């Protein structure tokens, strides 16, 4: 069961891209452990930029991201990578599976990075247990290009879970799924949140996520226009 006591807060975040594009135009958000937070807004409103900054993949031009009250701007890239590997999981619109690796190898990757000295077989066993839990163990020797979109996203979920994260960041996770696979993914996220107490931050266009959200942040033009 994930701990649920952490808080990630973004304070007065500003991110400006070339051409004076204010992707984040001074916004403050707070993400609590154990909760599903949905970031909703039209294309170009700043969802991905916000998600990547909160997940310590990118830095703001000004403002701070605090993890349990501690400013993360002083952390080295290596320290941030360790936090991402140990505490965070990631799911993406285009799945980001490694095409040259099989399904089970893709799922093992975060543990191989974390514990390179542990035998592959130990990591493999964990990967297979997850693949069984998500009913996709029959594809363990397949390559990503042999899977449907829904299957790829289930493999990506297994990969995001193998490190036992406290929070999963998901960027448009239903963006390349048909309606049925999208609705299955939403139910799965709800179950993972309830049963394993994993927090989610989900950037999406898909209003069906509102059904499972504890908090909703509506963005437009790099600003928060509403909180629900």
Ligand X SMILES: Nc1ncnc2c1ncn2[C@@H]1O[C@H](COP(=O)(O)OP(=O)(O)O)[C@@H](O)[C@H]1O
Residues that bind ligand X (CB under 6 A): 17-18, 21, 23, 41, 43-49
Residue 163: both structure tokens together = 């490190």
Nearer to Mg ion, 25 or 137 (CB): 25
Residue 55 binds: one of Mg ion, ligand X, none (C-beta under 5 to 8 A by kind): none
Report which secondary-structure segment, H or E, holds 106: helix 103-114
Residue 143 or 218 with smaller CB distance to ligand X: 218
Minimum distance, C-beta of residue 225 to ligand X, in the bound complex (Å): 13
> Among all chains, which residue has been given the structure tokens 């036992």?
164
Q: Which candidate, 223, 225, 185, 212, places its Cα nearest to that of 38?
A: 212
- The binder of 23, among ligand X, Mg ion, none, by C-beta within 5 to 8 A per type, is ligand X
Taking CB positions, which residue lies at the least distance from Mg ion?
48
Binding footprint of Mg ion, residue count (CB under 5 A):
2
| Residue 128, helix vs strand vs coil | helix
In angstroms, what is the C-alpha Rg of the chain? 17
Nearer to ligand X by Cβ, of 24 and 168: the residue is 24
To the nearest whole angstrom, how small is the minimum distance from the Cβ of residue 16 to ligand X? 9
* Residue 46: contacted member of ligand X, Mg ion, none (CB under 5 to 8 Å, by partner type): ligand X
Instruction: Choose among Mg ion, ligand X, none what residue 45 binds, the Cβ cut-off being 5 to 8 Å by kind.
Output: ligand X
Query: Which strands sit side by side in the sheet containing 199-204, from one edge to the other?
Result: 88-92, 167-171, 199-204, 36-40, 215-220, 223-227
Q: Report CA torsion sign: 94, 193, 67, 218.
A: positive
Cα end-to-end distance, the chain, whole Å:
27
Nearer to ligand X, 25 or 184 (CB): 25
CB-nearer residue toward ligand X: 13 or 111: 13
Q: Do 158 and 131 contact (CB within 8 A), yes or no?
A: yes
Contact characters 38-57, Mg ion, x per CB under 5 A: ---------xx---------
**Of 217, 228, 227, residue with least CA distance to 45:** 217
Q: Which does 60 bind (CB under 5 to 8 A by kind): Mg ion, ligand X, none?
A: none
Interface contacts to Mg ion, rule CB under 5 A: 47-48
């Amino acid at each position: 069961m994930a701990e649920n006591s952490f808080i990630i807060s973004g304070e007065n975040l500003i991110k400006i891209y070339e051409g004076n594009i204010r992707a984040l135009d001074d916004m403050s958000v707070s993400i609590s452990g154990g909760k599903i937070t949905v970031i909703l807004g039209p294309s170009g409103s700043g969802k991905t930029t916000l998600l990547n900054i909160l997940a310590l993949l990118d830095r703001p031009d000004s403002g701070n991201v605090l993890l349990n009250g501690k400013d993360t701007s002083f952390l080295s890239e290596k320290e941030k990578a360790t936090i991402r590997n140990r505490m965070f999981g990631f799911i993406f619109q285009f799945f980001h599976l490694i095409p040259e690796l099989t399904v089970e190898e893709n799922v093992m990757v975060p543990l191989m990075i974390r514990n390179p000295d542990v035998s592959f077989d130990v990591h493999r066993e964990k990967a297979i247990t997850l693949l069984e839990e998500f009913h996709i163990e029959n594809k363990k020797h397949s390559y990503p290009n042999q899977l449907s979109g829904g299957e790829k996203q289930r493999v990506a979920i297994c990969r995001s879970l193998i490190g036992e994260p406290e929070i999963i960041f998901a960027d448009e996770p239903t963006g390349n799924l048909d309606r049925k696979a999208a609705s299955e993914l939403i139910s799965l996220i709800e179950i993972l949140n309830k049963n394993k107490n994993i927090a989610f931050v989900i950037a999406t266009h898909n209003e069906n996520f509102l059904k499972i959200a504890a908090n909703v942040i509506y963005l437009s033009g790099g600003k928060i226009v509403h909180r629900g």
